[in-house]
Amino acid sequence: MPVMLVCASREDDPPGTVALVLRAARVLLLTVGVLAPVGLVGLVVAVLSGRAAARRLAWPRLVALLMRLGPTFVKAGQVLGTRRDLLPPGLCDELATLQDSVIPLTADRTREALAAVYGAELDTLFAEVDYEPVASGSVACVYRARLTSGREVALKLRRPGIERVMRQDLDLMRRGAALMARLPLFRGIPVMPVVVSMCDAVLGQLDFEREAASLDRLRADLSVVPRVWVPKVVPSACRPRCIVMEFIHGLDIDAPSRCSDASRRKFASSGLTAIYEMLFVNGFVHCDMHPGNLYFTESAQVVVLDAGFSVQLSERLRLLFADFFMNMAIGDGDKCAAIVVESSADVGADADVAGFLARMADLVRRSHGLPAREFSLIAFATEMFDLQRRHGIHAAPELIFPLLSLLVIEGTIRELDPDVDFQALARPVLMKGRFGSR
């Protein structure tokens, strides 16, 4: 279902009271219109077939509602879908299906937007621009262009008015979360910290100056990993609403299917090593490595794009993250369980810490004994988050988002190499991150 975007007249205008009230009314009407019938039908289904069946009915409707509400809610749903420590696994699975399916800007609208960004410099910087986008998302469209120097580049142009619309919606989410946090149903759940971290993650994807710096950082950090390519930014041509970077040819999600098994195994190794380098060595993590941002070319390169959703771990959390995986690699469940508690954002007053420690240690020991083909990061993380949720141990968002990078990439890596050993590949990078010079 394509998402239609509302364009504001001025990019940086804060959302006014009237606009906020009108938007709130529209969100409320859509929400009630979609969820009220689902609630009534759900009650009947719950009585006849149980609460699990009612939830299976409700979750897809909720995801459809987010699509109708627009790009901010889609982005928020994508981020919330990572919080398996707080939300039911079935709902997280549905939220993970959310995709940006957005109608691209017209050629005329793109010309207007570029003129607004560059002014008189447009013709002096660019010899030509192809106004047919090569990619279209909720925040930006990407175009092929050529600098006056002759260099071929990609322009990532932020949609006009999108910041105002998204800030308006995020303001509504914060207000709604503040109301929810007061309800008995949500007592003991860190509603506001979760929503605030989600809003920060969404807003971060609007900061193109930050994203350009993140691309430069990732390019430097991942230069040590064989066959990994992060596009080089052209700083002199970048502007606050447009990132200019080298254009990479041959980006095709089906490219691995045309490569040999040996090449596919190399892709899997390089892609996974890149994630480990981010997590365990540098602590600067690209958290959105889905197939639209991760490509494998026929020239044996692993291409990483779009660093808008990146997180910098504190040194303490980076070391705890590395220690957790290191102890997991040797099957020390007791140490892993203690690290999860130590790194948690909140331990509820009624938390069953002893019960969590025992069950978490058992999970690590069971997982350590599995053959590589049978070990699943998603299954492991789902069970771990379920244990945290049931025992009142709330994970820190700073750790959840980086872990997302591993969970998102697992399916892609498994397709490339079904026999890949996630734990074995991690060991040398863990040693480097924990004991090597940085």
Structure tokens at 100: 């940006």
- How far, in Å, CA of 387 to CA of 227, rounded? 38
Residue in 87, 21, 82 with CA at minimum distance from that of residue 59: 87
| Buried b / exposed e along 375-384 (16+ C-beta atoms within 10 A) | bbbbebbbbb
Length of the chain: 438
- How far, in Å, CA of 423 to CA of 428, rounded? 10
**DSSP assigned state of 120:** G
Strand partners, 128: 146
- How far, in Å, CA of 160 to CA of 128, rounded? 21
Q: Are strands 135-136 and 152-158 parallel, antiparallel or unpaired?
A: unpaired
Task: Decide if 288 is catalytic.
Answer: yes
Residues 34, 35, 41, 45, CA torsion sign: positive
- How far, in Å, CA of 99 to CA of 59, rounded? 16
Q: How many CA atoms lie within 13 A of 75 on its CB side?
A: 28
SS3 296: strand
Strand partners, 246: 153
| 8 A C-beta contact, residue 16 and residue 168 | no
243 φ, ψ (degrees, to nearest 5): -105, 130
What's the gap between Cα 424 and its chain centre? 25
Q: Which of 288, 306, 323, 417 is catalytic?
A: 288
Residue in 212, 218, 247 with CA at minimum distance from that of residue 233: 212
**DSSP assigned state of 393:** E
Q: Which residues are catalytic?
A: 288
